[in-house]
Amino acid sequence: MKVINVVGARPNFMKMAPIIEAMNRYPDKIRHLLVHTGQHYDEKMSQSFFVDLGMPKPDINLEVGSGSHAEQTARIMVEFEKVCLQEKPDLVIVVGDVNSTMACTITAKKLGIQVAHVEAGLRSRDMTMPEEINRLCTDVLCDYLFTTDHFADENLAAEGVPADKIFFVGNVMIDTLLKHRALASTLDLSRKLGLVPKGYATLTMHRPGNVDDKRILTGILEALAEIAKELPIVFPIHPRTKKMAEQFGLGHFFNSGEKVEGIWITEPLGYLEFLHLNMNARLVLTDSGGLQEETTVLGVPCITMRPNTERPITCEVGSNIMVGNDKTRILEEARKILSGEIPQGRSPEKWDGHAAERIVEVLVEKLG
């Protein structure tokens, strides 16, 4: 079988790495190509992950870059269609919920090519999130839907997806985390930054809903500045957030000096570096999707600055707390954690480091 694996943006890379590794165990059955759409293109947002994760260089880079959603999606579709026509794969595999995921799914399906979606069935029910639109469009078209938990299975069943298309395999992002955890713990980044275990928080924030509106972003930053008086916050800042904060004149909230104090900003970090910091953080603050899952497995308290989550399992069994973007709520929950009220959690079923192997076993059985 000939497979095209698609990646586009930062959260895709750690999901695809274990799938490629699992496919390499079947050299006589699977030929695979890696296509990078180029949605993320900065060294720190893209290439450094290939190095950290030991991923092969993409065979093809579509180099679509940034643009409005329509522009970016359209550019990916035009370029990916050419690749599909040239390569004639039996299967395209997409992961996650970024624009590249949806664009490549639509393109392949219109050419009659089967598509598998890894991380299917997640639903926030929030149609203001571009990712929710991407998830819905992708899942309705895909032939193989690989899920991470029982909520995803239930969502797909409720949408009328036949049971024989749904495969509960676990979480490929956690495959990557478990594989790299020991190595990440040996880095000396925290020592270099003068950080002690449980003596700092980490932060990621880039959702349009949080950073594109001056009033909302200011409120969040005010809450974070309060927290940072007690616990320094390490913030590898996303390009979108940097751009918006500069535009709104909110740069005074950040410190980029030598010493980690206040809300300390740094460039986006590599996979291993950020895992290293998160493992020993007292608290993680985020609006990301994947980090809610990673903190669940690491057992680190996570405050999610979003009104909803497509990953409710992280609240059901993990250490994740949803607070929205309200300043008071963010502070309230952070203070509880700072005063020692630590949410306890455990790893969900099948988040055991073997999800990618299960995916490839299914594909080999079905497609030969």
Residues recognised as catalytic:
206
Q: How far is the CB of 206 from ligand UD1 (least distance, A)?
A: 5
Start-to-end CA distance of the chain, whole Å, equals: 7
- Cβ atoms 331, 229 nearer than 8 A: no
User: Taking the complex as a whole, how short is the minimal distance between the CB of residue 85 and ligand UD1, in angstroms?
Assistant: 24
- CB of residue 207 vs ligand UD1: minimum separation in angstroms? 7
CB 320, min distance to ligand UD1, A: 16
Task: Give least dist CB 75 to ligand UD1, A.
Answer: 12
For ligand UD1, give the closer residue by CB, 293 or 357. 293
Dist. CA 229–CA 231, nearest whole Å: 6
Structure tokens at 146: 């690989």
| Contact residues for ligand UD1, defined by CB under 6 A | 9-11, 39-42, 45, 66, 97-99, 130-131, 206, 238-240, 243
What distance lies between CA 181 and its chain's CA centroid?
A: 17
CA–CA gap between residue 161 and residue 217 (Å, rounded): 38
- Tokens in use for 352? 């055991």
What burial letters (b/e) apply to 6-35, b meaning 16+ CB within 10 Å? bbbbbbbbbbbbbbbbbbeeeeeebebbbb
Report the chain's C-alpha Rg in angstroms: 20
- Cα–Cα distance, 245 to 356 (Å, whole number): 38
Rounded CA-CA distance 292/5 in Å is 25
Q: In what order do the strands lie in the sheet with 302-304?
A: 254-255, 263-266, 233-236, 201-204, 283-286, 302-304, 320-322
- Looking at the Cβ atoms of 65 and 197, the one nearer to ligand UD1 is 65
